[in-house]
Amino acid sequence: MAKSGTTEASAKTEASALEVTDTRSGEKHSFPITDGSIRATDLKKIPSGDEDGGGLVSYDPAFLNTAACRSSITYIDGDKGILRYRGYPIEQLAERANFLEVAWLLRHGELPDQKEYDSFVHDITYHTYVHENIRKFLEGFRYDAHPMAMLNSAVAALASFYPDSRNIFDPDQRNISMIRLLAKVPTIAAFSYRHVKGLPFVYPDNDLSYVENFLSMVARMSEPKYEANPVFVRALEILFILHADHEQNCSTSAVRAVGSSHVDPFSAMSAGIAALFGPLHGGANEAVLRMIGEIGHPKNVPAFIEEVKGGKGQRLMGFGHRVYKSYDPRATIVKKLADDVFKIVGMDKDLEIALELERIALSDEYFVSRKLYPNVDFYTGLIYRSMAFPTEFFTVLFAIARMSGWLAQWEEMLLDKEQKIARPRQIYTGPVERDYTSRLAPPKVGPRVAKKDALRQ
C-alpha cells in the first residue's frame, strides 16, 4: 500500500532507524527508516547462517507487505476506504471527469488543459482503426473463444505491427504506442464481441466520444448512426474511471515485472490482460454472475452462504479485498450507479439474489469478523449484464479501462532510476545435491533406426 509521500512525512522519518538484535550472535543492526519502510537489501548485511554464506532475505509470498516501487500515481488507504488518482478523490473524478481526462491525468500527473485535452482526444480518435490483418487474425478464433483470450492475443500481436515500439526509451515511440493502445483496445474488444456473436464487425465512428464509439462498435446494426442511451454512456464512463488504476495490484505488478525486461509495451500490456483474466482479479465480476446463476433463486441464498462458511473452498465472489478492509469506495459509487441503470431496465431475479446475498453477508458474523465487504466487482457485473453485455465480456470492459493505469505505471517504472529487471529471491526447499541415475528403460536400437538410415540413402 502506498504511503502519501509528502516532504513533511519524509523529513520526519529520515532520522529514524530500526534497531534489531540478532539473537544468534548478539550483534546489533540499524536500518534507516524512510517513508515508513526499510530497504530489504539492507538485511543482506546480516548473515543468513545458511551454508551458502549469503545474507538474510525477507520472505513475503504474495507480496503481502512488500513495496516494490515508489509511485506517485494512485493512493489507497484500505482501512479508511480512500482511493485517489494523483491526489484527486475517486468520488470527484467519477462524478465530474471523463475517462480520457483521467487517462491523461494518470500518465501526466495533472489534469489536461483544453489544448492538451483536444489534442489527446484527436490522437486517440485518429488511431482507433486496426490493421486489416488484426481483423483477419480475430476472425481465425473459434466461434466460442473467450473475448479475453482474443483481446490478449491481439494486443500481443500488435507488437509485430509496430516493431519500432521496442525503442521504449524514445519518448516519441513511447507516446505513440500508448496512444495506439488506448485507441485500439476498444476496437479489438468490440471486434471480439462481434466475432463471438457472429455479427459483422463495425468500424470506428470517429465523430463519437470514446465510450459512445465503443458502444457503437459493439451494438450498431443497420442504423447509419448509432445513438447510445445517455444513461448507459455515463454509466460506462464512470465504470471506466473507477477501474482505471488501482496501484500495485496483480495485473499492474505483472505489467511492471514483464515491462522491467524492457520488452515492448504491447507485450507488457498483454501480460496485464492475462493477469486480469483470473477469477480472483478482473474475472471476479464474471464469477459473481456465474455464482448468482448457480444459486438460481433468492430462497437458496441462506444455504449458499452456509456452504461458503463451511470453508470447502467456495467463496462469496465479489466480496473481500486484499487492501480494503472497511469498504471499497468504488463499490459505494457503483451501487448508486446500479440504481440509475436498474431504474431503466427494471429489477430481475438475479438482482434480487444479489441484494439478498449482500443483506445476509453484511449481517453475518463470518463476513463481518473477516472484514469482507462487497467489492467493486459485486455490482459491476450486474450493471454490465443489465446493459446486455454477455458475462464473458465483463473482464474485457475492465481491461479497456485498466489499460490507462497499466500504461502510466509502465512508463513510471521505465523512468524510475531505481528500477531494474524484476527478479525476486526464493527459499529453496528441494533436495540437496544428488547424482543422476536414469529411471527410464534403456533406449531401443532396432528397425526404426535402421529404416530411417535407409531413407537417407
Within 10 angstroms of residue 268's Cβ, the number of other Cβ atoms is: 30
Task: Check binding of 76 to ligand CMC (CB under 6 A).
Answer: no
Residue 377 catalytic? yes
Residue 127 catalytic? no
Task: Check binding of 290 to ligand CMC (CB under 6 A).
Answer: no
Question: With CB under 6 A as the contact rule, which of the stretches 52-60, 184-192, 311-319, 424-432 interacts with ligand CMC?
Answer: 311-319
State the nearest-atom distance from the C-beta of 17 to ligand CMC, in Å.
31
- Our CB check for ligand CMC shows the closer of 165 and 409 to be 409
Cβ 153 vs Cβ 211: under 8 Å: no
Which residues, numbered 369-428, are part of the site for ligand CMC (CB under 6 A)?
370, 372, 375-377
Beta bridge partners, 21, equal 28
Helix, strand, coil share (%) of the chain residues, nearest 5: 55, 5, 40
Q: How far apart are CA 449 and CA 92, in angstroms?
A: 74
Binding mask 191-230 for ligand CMC (x = CB under 6 A): ----------------------------------------
Task: Check binding of 315 to ligand CMC (CB under 6 A).
Answer: yes
Residue that has been written with the C-alpha cell 439478498 in this structure: 356
Q: How far apart are CA 389 and CA 289, in angstroms?
A: 12
Cβ 204 vs Cβ 217: under 8 Å: yes
Q: How far apart are CA 10 and CA 18, in angstroms?
A: 15
Q: Which of 146, 321, 328, 350 is catalytic?
A: 321
Using left for φ > 0, alpha for ψ between -120 and 50, and beta otherwise, residue 131 falls in: beta
Task: Check binding of 281 to ligand CMC (CB under 6 A).
Answer: yes
Q: How far apart are CA 22 and CA 38, in angstroms?
A: 17
- Our CB check for ligand CMC shows the closer of 131 and 290 to be 290
Task: Check binding of 317 to ligand CMC (CB under 6 A).
Answer: yes
Residue 108 catalytic? no
Question: With CB under 6 A as the contact rule, which of the stretches 39-47, 275-283, 343-351, 416-424 interacts with ligand CMC?
Answer: 275-283
Q: Which of 281, 340, 364, 416 is catalytic?
A: 281
State the nearest-atom distance from the C-beta of 335 to ligand CMC, in Å.
14
Q: How far apart are CA 125 and CA 205, in angstroms?
A: 9
Using left for φ > 0, alpha for ψ between -120 and 50, and beta otherwise, residue 318 falls in: left
Number of residues binding to ligand CMC, judged by CB under 6 A: 20
Which residues, numbered 230-269, are part of the site for ligand CMC (CB under 6 A)?
246, 249
- Type of residue numbered 297: H
Task: Check binding of 337 to ligand CMC (CB under 6 A).
Answer: no
> Angle 249-415-94 (CA atoms, 0-180°, nearest 5)?
45
Q: Which residues bind ligand CMC (CB under 6 A)?
A: 246, 249, 280-282, 284, 308, 315-322, 370, 372, 375-377
List residues with catalytic annotation: 281, 321, 377
